Structure 1
Amino acid sequence: MLELSYTSGPAAAPLLGQTIGENLRRTVERHPDRDALIVRSQHYRASYRQLWEQIDTLARALLALGVAHGDRVGLWASNRYEWVLIQFATARIGAILVNINPSYRASELHYALDQSGVSVLLMARGFRTSDYRATLAQVRDALPQLRHALVIDDDWRDFLARADEVTSRTLFERESALQFDDPINIQYTSGTTGTPKGATLTHHNILNNGYFIGRTMGYTPQDRVCIPVPFYHCFGMVIGNLNCVSHGAAMVIPGDAFDPEATLRAVAEERCTSLYGVPTMFIDMLRHPLLDELDLGSLRTGVMAGATCPVRVMEQVRERMHMEQVTICYGMTETSPVSTQTAVDDPVEQRVATVGRVHPHLEIKIVDPERGCVMPIGQAGELCTRGYSVMRGYWNNPTATSEAIDAGHWMHTGDLAIMDRDGYISIVGRIKDMIIRGGENIYPREIEECLYQHPQVADVQVIGIPSERYGEEVMAWVRPKTGTIPQSGELEAFCRERLAGYKVPRHWKFVAEFPVTVTGKVQKFRMRELAMAELSAAG
């Protein structure tokens, strides 16, 4: 009898049966004078007591504005202290926070606000070259449900003054009526395969996920966590903020968006014990000249997530950044987000080459994408997750929900994975990224890991592009190390010594950067579009 790729997580520590506001209140009672939030770009610092008082004021101001239980409140801004206050204030009054991507243009903004029915929008003046007020003006007339649009940089003080119109008793009564299974957050997926879908998450979903991420990393109130990843994404607001608050740790925010120097300085000067980032962020920090000048000795752990984590990068992060206990997290927005995570005491080979094992109170299985049957141990298939972390569904989109969550309440991730006999998971690609060349299945991750070993390769992404003869051919986009000029023939020979011939890239492209999302995720679909356009133009 073959062993099957199914496992469930430990359940020794109970789930938190609390709302986000209840959990924050308990942390404030235990650690009122400890640092809670530090936003260096705004020169902002608050203890847990001060954070609670500011959130209380904001929550009452929102009530004065007429925000009811279940109303959608949009938040369109990059990382700033007000973002954190709004995150917790909306949770305390039972409003549903709708995260708006800071890079959205007018059509994307209209879609998110209209589809979710946002009635109150809190927004920055802009981000980088974008003028949010001008962008909103283009679509405001087509948003009849939008009653208020407040600019944080201009209206904040007057808005907070409205808190005096609402008593603490009124806020207490609202909080007392909330349930931890209430939806509290809508996050829109990237929409790379169609219109974005709003993953709808509850207190129970995201509070517990943040809490168990921190338990896996051994967080205590003494930890200080550097969070350069965006708040509008689960990485920032769950793995970051909710993780810290549920353990009484400090949130340290370097700036409104990722900058390698600002992040390294924040770690050194605030004596951070943990650091977060997607692989491209860690690659940029490893390449920065300040890395070896600053004292990063306070670091012990952190999270690398959001994209496939190259083994070579993980090894350098452990060695050069003192993050011996760095963990890899795997998941998706629809699962709050983390489903698997490496442990700080896992064998080194498992911590650098896998995404760990299933999280507490969750189940995972790997299935044949076509037939749905559970695959034998060691064979690739689609990874599915079930448990408390699975979203309520896509907002007002039952068709998309039923396509993603099956009758057994398994969330189908679209990721190709392999489980070993000890339950460790390796991600080998996306179902849509898998390359089928002449009937052979090729997993880009294997080729990427091979090329990372070449001394002239800083970063690499492998995609499949159309081929008349084979259906698809392998193409590698390579970002060379500074000062090197690798040749495609040399890299091809390097691969042929280590890979079967059909896996060796036929096409090569050398680039300074890859197309990425605002969170740093590489957009392979965009790479395919660009490659196909170039090949077509070349005849």
Structure 2
Amino acid sequence: MLNAGLGGWPARRAAMSPDRTAFVFRDRATTYAEVFDRTTRLARQLRAAGVRKGDRVAYLGQNHPAFVETMFATHMLGGIFVPLNFRLAAPEIDYLLAHSGATVLVHAPEHAPEHAFGQAVRTVVALGPDYENWLAAGDPTPVDVPVGLDDAACVLYTSGTTGRPKGATLTHGNLIWNCYNLLVGVDVAADEVTLVSAPLFHVAALNQCLLPTFLKGGCSVIMPSWSVDACFDLIAGHRVTWMFGVTTMFAGLARSPRWAGADLSSVRCLMAGGAAVPPALIHTYQERGLTFCQGYGLTETAPGATFLEAGESERKAGSAGVPVFFTNVRCVRPDLTDTAPGEPGEVIIQGPNVTPGYWDDPAATARAFSEGRWFHSGDIAYVDPDGHFHIVDRVKDMYISGGENVYPAEVEAAVYEHPAVAEVAVIGVPDATWGEVGRAFVITVPGRDLTIGELRAFLAERLARYKLPVHLDIVDDLPRTGSNKIQKSRLRDTLGSTPGRT
């Protein structure tokens, strides 16, 4: 086979396990043989629409098997897949389509772009009857285009917290080496039943869950969107063995009235990433006898950089683990010398899973790397004497109070231990005396209340005084990104909308 990239996977997996279930979506099962047939037909239709090697094909919509079909069909032709965040506004979608130069867009009907028809996009297909008819009319003759590991596979746009989003280019090699790293750290089995609960346009759901499961011939149960109740139902109904989530998703499950009685007996491993996970939340899952593993990575590292394997998940709870097998990770000072154990520094990463750069943005690419192709994450961590990485926070989220660095993730982990707290986010806000102080936004456990005095008294034995929040906002919800991470930029933008309790 000439295609050494992901475009060859449907054919290889169909040859090895044609009758195994590849995907379950809304109780409809699709076998690996059917995946190969459908993606081949779709690839032929994309070719008829003018897609050639290097062309971009975009997808806009919630999780759906068509996302995966569009991706594999694009890769069969040597094209570049561009998954879009469906929660973005129309002008933001327009920008991403224009910046990527996508010529074909497959989208869910409820996420129809407003202006894509007037741009470079020549073919727009909505899911439903139009998509199914278009696919079914495709020629089932296999396509085999030469694709190498260094060829671009995807452009994944970052959240754009500062300025315009950047498109991280990931090659086929980046994605495949990431799968190797994941499979070394997690015992993914051929009978795995993986719950794909985070958005597939997010790098972790796609590359840490769905692709490794596909590679092993397991079954991916695809959730259209996140729902606590649906998650419990799918775990029990399909005997889910493995799932990935971010802190807010796992916190939502743990505070649900169904938590105590939920059937989680089939689950072999839970994997968290996206942000530091409070140890108190990890212990909540461990008390149920569940293996809870935390990893660390970025879109630009495809995403795995470090991982805490199951055998260490209790002893090192709260750690993001050690560098994944085929990747180098360091914690460095500004002069790029390695930090001492326990000393905070920036995380930098080097390896075959690291992006070659940003799409059509050589300046951003140059800024992201130092000599030796070390990628600078912008994240702060420290390494303990055993070599385990502990993610402290984003550089941009750190604030300085009275001349001291404060890392909100550390404060959040301590706040989370309070029995009245269901979720929390902490940011730095201006203060006339100290320069900046902490402001905590808390969702309380139903029936519980909390004052700033009570919170500060609780934290006084856990944190230095300068780290204690000065302001407290009790809120009903927290703004979230498309991947369910808390969006602190929006908290900063809307400080005046919710009265703080001081």
TM-score by length of structure 1 reads 0.89
1:54-80 deviations in Å (ceiling 9; x for gaps): 222212221222210110001011101
Q: How far apart, in 1, do the equivalents of 2:176 and 2:378 lie?
A: 25
Does residue 361 of the first structure (1) align with residue 326 of the second (2)? yes
Instruction: Quote the residue 2:336 is aligned against.
Output: 372
Does residue 330 of the first structure (1) align with residue 317 of the second (2)? no
Bigger CA drift: 276-285 or 111-120? 276-285
Q: How far apart, in 2, do the equivalents of 1:32 and 1:534 lie?
A: 55
Match for residue 385 of structure 1 among 349, 359, 374: 349
1:243-299 deviations in Å (ceiling 9; x for gaps): 11111111011x311011111111111111112211111111122233334422011
Does residue 86 of the first structure (1) align with residue 46 of the second (2)? no
1:135-160 deviations in Å (ceiling 9; x for gaps): x334532x1x2111111224213311
Q: How far apart, in 2, do the equivalents of 1:139 and 1:157 lie?
A: 21
For residue 13 of structure 2, what is the amino acid of its counterpart?
T
Identity, in percent, stands at: 34
Task: State how 1:154-303 maps to structure 2 within 5 Å.
Answer: 154-164=129-139, 167-168=141-142, 171-172=143-144, 174=145, 177-253=146-222, 255-303=223-271
Q: How far apart, in 2, do the equivalents of 1:341 and 1:312 lie?
A: 19
Contact 1:75 1:100 in 2 (8 A): yes
Q: How far apart, in 1, do the equivalents of 2:295 and 2:73 lie?
A: 28
Change (3 A) 1:167 1:48: closer
* Shift in Å, 1:18: 4.0
Q: How far apart, in 2, do the equivalents of 1:330 and 1:337 lie?
A: 8
Does residue 140 of the first structure (1) align with residue 117 of the second (2)? yes
Instruction: Quote the residue 1:152 is aligned against.
Output: 127
Q: How far apart, in 2, do the equivalents of 1:185 and 1:139 lie?
A: 20
TM-score by length of structure 2 reads 0.95
Instruction: Quote the residue 1:5 is aligned against.
Output: none
Corresponding residue pairs, total: 499
Contact 1:121 1:146 in 2 (8 A): yes
Q: How far apart, in 2, do the equivalents of 1:335 and 1:242 lie?
A: 15
Match for residue 31 of structure 2 among 44, 47, 57: 47
SS in 1 for 2:462: coil
Structure 2: segments with no counterpart, 5+ residues: none
Instruction: Quote the residue 1:13 is aligned against.
Output: none
* Shift in Å, 1:167: 4.1
Task: State how 1:44-123 maps to structure 2 within 5 Å.
Answer: 44-123=28-107
* Shift in Å, 1:490: 0.9
Contact 1:187 1:200 in 2 (8 A): yes
* Shift in Å, 1:24: 4.0
Instruction: Quote the residue 2:16 is aligned against.
Output: 30
Larger proportion of helix: 1
SS in 1 for 2:312: coil
For residue 283 of structure 1, what is the amino acid of its counterpart?
A
Change (3 A) 1:496 1:167: closer
Contact 1:61 1:161 in 2 (8 A): no
SS in 1 for 2:494: helix
Task: State how 1:470-481 maps to structure 2 within 5 Å.
Answer: 470-481=434-445
Match for residue 279 of structure 2 among 311, 314, 326: 311
Change (3 A) 1:151 1:347: closer
Q: How far apart, in 1, do the equivalents of 2:198 and 2:220 lie?
A: 12
* Shift in Å, 1:32: 2.2
Structure 1: segments with no counterpart, 5+ residues: 1-16, 127-131
Instruction: Quote the residue 1:11 is aligned against.
Output: none
* Shift in Å, 1:29: 2.6
Q: How far apart, in 2, do the equivalents of 1:532 and 1:425 lie?
A: 37
SS in 2 for 1:296: coil
Q: How far apart, in 1, do the equivalents of 2:293 and 2:14 lie?
A: 27
1:315-361 deviations in Å (ceiling 9; x for gaps): 112333x422x2112111011011011101115131x2101110011
SS in 1 for 2:208: helix
* Shift in Å, 1:214: 3.1
Contact 2:63 2:225 in 1 (8 A): yes
Change (3 A) 1:314 1:101: same
Contact 1:278 1:307 in 2 (8 A): yes
Q: How far apart, in 2, do the equivalents of 1:362 and 1:79 lie?
A: 29
Contact 2:4 2:147 in 1 (8 A): no
Contact 2:332 2:339 in 1 (8 A): yes
